[in-house]
Amino acid sequence: MIVTRHISLDNDCIEKMQPYIEKHKGNFSAAIREIIDIAKEYNSLTNFQAIDSSLFKWVLAEIDGVLLPDNVLDKLIDPTLINSMGNLEKYLKNRFRDLRWDIDIMLKYDNDSSPSELIIDIRGNPQKIKFASRIVCQYLIKNLPENSSLEIRSINNIGDYIIIDLSKANKSDAQKSLTIHFGEMDEVIKAIKDKPQFWKAIINGHLLSNYSMVTVHRNYFEDLLANKIPMGEITIETMAKRPIKEIPLNEILCLIKDVYETSRVVDRVEVDKENIILFHNYRNKDVIEKLKKSLIMLLDANGHSYDAKSTANMIVLIHNPDIGIKINQLVNDLKISNNRIDQDLIVLMAFLKGLKNIYDAKASPDLPLSLTLLGRKIGKSLMQNYEKEYGVKIWELQDFKKALEIIDSRLQRESDLKLDGKELTYTIKKCSIIEGSFDPYMCHAIRDTFKGAVEYVFGNRAELGVKKLLSHGDNLCEVIVKLS
């Protein structure tokens, strides 16, 4: 049975009901029923807030940085109110008053239905106005249409009031700004809830080991097992969302600090302008050396040359822009040689012969790391130009053997190459470049030029074995290239 009653309302009450009346297309009875239902739903929350404010404050602190689920947000603020900033402001004032939060809010906008600039001014208890700011910003960014999206430009938080400046942007940037300012823990909480047992085990492991566990990418770990020098490139590229070569130096140094500290590969990382210091507790010298080379190669892939020095518990990487410039100039010279191998080798020999005048082994004992990278780049460039000049499409050992024979003949180097199935034995009997005065830097650079050539031509298909080296006291150099 429906009971009809006559009631009288003043203008203030009618204004408060207006959003619901519009929602139900003028059906006053339907609007009244929804208001009654909402009042019932929030009555328990209001009473709870009034009874135990300390518990409510704790809840607010615990959900700091976490966004509300969409269904909760829709119940808290009617999505249809998005069509009028004026009506939204009135609704929010009444909602916060009904919840007894003692909050005052003002919206300043240039257009009531589709603002391009909006300022939110919220005053009251610091903890509550921060939560209210999150709710209002999330509501706006969620419900505004694509062509009217607003992005959070700035937040001025001064004690008991917060002023938020929003302006027009695309939906993606708007959502990103919400995450940056109010949802920094949202993705973390969702991930933990999605796989609670996994994260519980990870956290317990770190706690029980006093944070001595190391968490690295699977490919990084695979390189370690394969006795290769890992670079950690995948993790950094994933975080930067772009290739390693496109990351600015200052950004990649910060990413190294973030990745190496959080993964616990090292204890602490300090960035000093363009230099970087890593503190660790490793005792094995080979481990320290591998870590040092890994960092040198990572920064080289970014286009920057670094010298490395290490002590018992530190690795110091010093930016060497001059070397980087020399490497880049040399590689560029090789690339514009019009595919002439002779020109490539003239540039290479001139550089190798000038090494003594450039580097001092006593002043920079770790310099061979830089030469290693230089040699790899030269070897790759030589093979690229050889491909173009001789029309090589797919490399086989026979093609590689022919390329080495041509290069050695130009360098007047006596060598012997024997091909046996998938195995090539390369013996250098006499090297005119270092003849008369053996220089470890020059030898190192030449050797790594060969390694760079092998890496470019065969990639992971080739296994390189060293049988004899002049630098090891042998009377000649002999290596084996074996294809898998």
- 130-155 tens-digit pLDDT: 999 999 999 999 999 988 899 999 99
Tokens of 193: 């809830």
Q: Which residues pair with 157 in a beta bridge?
A: 162
Helix runs in 319-472, H state only: 321-335, 341-353, 355-358, 368-390, 397-410, 440-458
Cβ proximity of 138 and 182 under 8 Å: yes
- DSSP H helical segments within 232-354, as ranges? 233-240, 249-262, 285-301, 321-335, 341-353
Quote the CA–CA distance of 446 and 160 in Å, as a whole number.
68
Q: pTM, whole model, 2 decimals?
A: 0.56
Classified as helix, coil or strand, 305 is coil
Q: How many CB atoms lie within 10 A of CB 465?
A: 11
8 Å CB contact between 12 and 18: no
Rounded Cα distance between 214 and 421, Å, is 43
Whole-angstrom Cα distance, residue 32 to residue 21? 8
Bridge partners of residue 427, in order along the sequence? 416, 478
Find all residues with CB under 8 Å of 208, minimum gap 6, and list them. none
Phi/psi of residue 165, nearest 5 degrees: -105, 120
Per-residue pLDDT, 66 = 87
- Of residues 84, 215, 81, the one with CA closest to residue 135: 81
Q: How far apart are CA 399 and CA 482, in angstroms?
A: 14
Predicted pLDDT of residue 9 = 67
Domain spans of the chain, in order of start: 52-190, 196-316, 322-483
In the block, residue with structure tokens 């938020």: 164
CA dist 298 to 14, 215, 282, Å?
67, 18, 20
CA atoms within 13 A of residue 225's CA, in its CB half-sphere:
7
Cα separation, 271 vs 221, whole angstroms: 25
Phi, psi of 75 (to 5 degrees): -75, -30
Class of domain 322-483: alpha beta
pLDDT tens per residue, the chain (484 residues)?
455 566 666 676 777 777 777 778 878 777 777 777 766 655 544 444 444 677 777 877 888 888 988 988 988 888 888 989 999 999 999 888 888 888 899 999 999 988 999 999 999 988 889 999 999 999 999 999 988 899 999 999 888 899 999 999 999 999 999 999 998 888 888 989 999 999 999 899 989 988 888 888 888 888 878 877 777 778 888 888 888 888 888 899 999 999 899 888 899 999 988 899 999 988 888 888 888 888 888 888 887 878 888 878 899 998 877 655 555 555 555 455 555 566 666 666 655 655 555 554 444 544 456 667 777 888 888 888 888 888 888 898 999 999 888 888 877 778 889 988 889 999 988 876 665 556 666 777 778 888 889 989 898 888 888 888 877 777 888 899 998 8
Closest to 100 measured CA to CA, from 135, 140, 152, 53: 53
Q: What is the pLDDT, as a whole number, of residue 45?
A: 47
C-alpha 478/C-alpha 161 separation (Å) is: 75
Distances (CA, A) of 256 to 16, 158, 243, 268, 362: 55, 34, 15, 11, 29
The tokens describing 12, both together, are 């203030």
Which regions of 146-249 does DSSP assign to beta strands (E)? Answer: 150-158, 161-168
Q: Which two tokens mark 337? A: 């040689």
Both tokens of 324, joined, read 């980087």
- Residues in the chain, total: 484
Report how far residue 15's alpha carbon sits from residue 21's, in angstroms, rounded to the nearest whole number.
Answer: 10
Q: Nearest 5 degrees, angle CA 398-CA 403-CA 406?
A: 125
Distance, CA of 87 to CA of 20 (rounded, Å): 11
DSSP state, residue 471: G
CB atoms within 10 A of CB 242: 12
